């Protein structure tokens, strides 16, 4: 039985990726409304004039669709962090890198890089990289299939099942120690669409998952998962600001009526009249007139009492930290202080060296599954044209200058030039052991070498 037949027959044995159930909502006995203190101290659930959001916050359950809807599309901080990652990540291009004596060598290209340079008609490397980092941020995984053309097609991550087993031992299941990836099942339209999945061999799919899920062997995890609560808190804070201004930029208020209103109809009429006159930002700062026996008492806290900027800024910083993006790069308020902004260069280097370059390296290794390198080479990223890294080019030039000075000193001290280049490039001066020429002078000549012989005198001894 061939591998395709074995995969198809055993597909039902492999568990689909876990999907969380729809989030449950907290029970609200007042349907999201507050209480109104009516005549004789009676509580009426008729809608409190409040600056607080009356509906519950949208829960984020950690699934791909939930993170797209309630994080990426609904939260400005998440969008800004993902955009910063995407814009820089998409700037790289790819080359082959020669491997010589275990050390990286020169970069070069050939026709085999065409699928990466033009993954689809009208698409370039940057388009592929943008999709890859977006799927990784929101789904933890990026899957790409090599199709005829050749073209590279993106597979929506939550529609893919990783099939585990063994090509050699058909009885091994997904939970066994020796289980490995043997293929992928792609469910067009989703896993509950009712359509038959398309089975692909592992050689046909590239899988990029830079943050491993600790509960899985091969599946990745989005960086958004640990900061879901911060995202919900930031979104709730934005909603609070909107409601604050919608309700006349006033604190929450409880109005107590005297004994003049005895029935509910009159009470409802009074509430409607009060809200029409004082609710909404167009009625802000109007003088409040109350009849005898009626009092208005503010409740809750205003922005100053809440230290709103500090509270929201702390959540923004935690989101940026999870994304690996310094706040000053994103433009968050926590990173725009004069002292912090003066360190922009260090923040840029941290972002490039600590976040983006490891992602580029991981992506290059992942894509070798479907874009095979030539013998003696590997797929590598080329960032020489990325303007964001221009200062790194300057630093690299200074390093090369120091290495050149080191090489000159070693050559002038008696080591052979080829051996010096090899040792300095490898960062291992121990390679020079036992290879000294024995010549110690500047001119590198043995004693007596290079002396001009005396010319004999004509007809006798000089």
Neighbours of 360 (CB within 10 A): 22
Q: Does 98 fall in a domain?
A: no
Q: Does 425 fall in a domain?
A: yes
Q: Does 365 fall in a domain?
A: no
pLDDT in the model for residue 458: 57
Q: Does 415 fall in a domain?
A: yes
Task: Give which of 134, 141, 177 is closest to 161, Cα–Cα.
Answer: 141
- Note down the domain range covering 423: 387-432
Mean pLDDT, each 10-residue run in order, the chain (462 residues): 51 38 31 37 36 41 86 91 96 91 79 95 96 96 94 95 83 81 92 91 95 91 91 75 62 67 78 75 62 66 53 77 92 66 82 95 96 93 86 68 83 82 78 79 56 55 51
pLDDT in the model for residue 28: 32
**Count: domains in the chain:** 1
Q: Does 208 fall in a domain?
A: no
Torsional sign, CA 56, 61, 63, 67: positive
Q: Does 419 fall in a domain?
A: yes
Neighbours of 37 (CB within 10 A): 16
pLDDT in the model for residue 168: 77
Q: Does 102 fall in a domain?
A: no
pLDDT in the model for residue 323: 94
Those residues whose C-beta lies under 8 Å from the C-beta of residue 135, and which sit 6 or more positions away, are: 141, 142, 143, 154, 156, 157
Rounded CA-CA distance 366/116 in Å is: 12
Q: What is the DSSP track for 217-262?
A: SS-B--TTGGGHHHHHHHHHHHHHHHHHHHTTT--EEEEE--TT--
Bridge-partner residues for 254, per DSSP? 297
Those residues whose C-beta lies under 8 Å from the C-beta of residue 372, and which sit 6 or more positions away, are: 112
What letters, b where the CB count within 10 A reaches 16 and e where it falls short, cover 234-244?
bbbbbebeeeb
Q: Does 195 fall in a domain?
A: no
């Amino acid at each position: 039985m061939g591998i395709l037949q074995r995969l198809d027959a055993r597909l039902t044995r492999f568990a689909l990726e876990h999907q969380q159930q729809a989030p449950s909502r907290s029970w609200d006995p007042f349907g999201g409304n507050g209480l109104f203190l009516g005549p004789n101290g009676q509580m009426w659930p008729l809608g409190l004039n409040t600056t607080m959001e009356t509906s519950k916050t949208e829960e984020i359950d950690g699934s791909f669709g939930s993170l797209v809807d309630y994080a990426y599309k609904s939260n400005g901080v998440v969008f800004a962090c993902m955009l910063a990652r995407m814009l820089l990540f998409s700037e790289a291009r790819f080359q082959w890198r020669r491997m010589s004596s275990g050390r990286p060598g020169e970069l070069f290209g050939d026709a085999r890089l065409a699928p990466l340079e033009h993954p689809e008609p009208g698409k370039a490397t940057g388009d592929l990289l943008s999709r890859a980092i977006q799927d990784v941020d929101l789904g933890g995984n990026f899957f790409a299939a090599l199709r005829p053309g050749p073209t590279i097609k993106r597979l929506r991550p939550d529609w893919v099942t990783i099939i585990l087993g063994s090509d050699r031992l058909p009885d091994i299941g997904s939970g066994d120690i020796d289980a490995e990836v043997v293929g992928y099942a792609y469910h067009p339209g989703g896993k509950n669409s009712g359509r038959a999945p398309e089975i692909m061999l592992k050689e046909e799919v590239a899988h990029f998952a830079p943050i491993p899920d600790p509960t899985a062997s091969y599946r990745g995890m989005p960086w958004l998962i640990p900061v879901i609560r911060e995202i919900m808190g930031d979104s709730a804070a934005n909603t609070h600001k909107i409601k604050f201004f919608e309700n006349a930029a006033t604190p929450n208020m409880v109005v107590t009526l005297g004994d003049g209103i005895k029935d509910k109809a009159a009470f409802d009429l009074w509430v409607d009249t009060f809200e029409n006159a004082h609710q909404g930002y167009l009625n802000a700062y109007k003088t409040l007139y109350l009849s005898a026996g009626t009092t208005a008492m503010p409740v809750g806290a205003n922005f100053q009492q809440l230290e709103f900027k500090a509270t929201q800024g702390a959540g923004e910083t935690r989101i940026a930290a999870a994304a690996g993006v310094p706040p000053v790069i994103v433009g968050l308020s926590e990173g725009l202080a004069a002292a912090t902004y003066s360190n922009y260069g260090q923040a840029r280097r941290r972002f490039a060296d600590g976040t983006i370059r490891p992602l580029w390296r991981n992506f290059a290794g992942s894509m070798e599954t479907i874009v095979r390198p030539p013998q003696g080479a590997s797929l590598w990223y080329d960032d020489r044209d990325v303007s964001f890294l221009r200062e790194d080019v300057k630093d690299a030039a200074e390093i090369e200058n120091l290495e050149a000075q080191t090489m000159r000193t070693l050559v002038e001290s008696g080591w052979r030039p080829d051996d010096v280049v090899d040792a300095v490039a490898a960062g291992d001066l121990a390679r020079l052991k036992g290879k000294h020429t024995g010549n110690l002078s500047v001119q590198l000549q043995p004693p007596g070498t290079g002396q001009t012989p005396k010319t004999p005198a004509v007809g006798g001894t000089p």
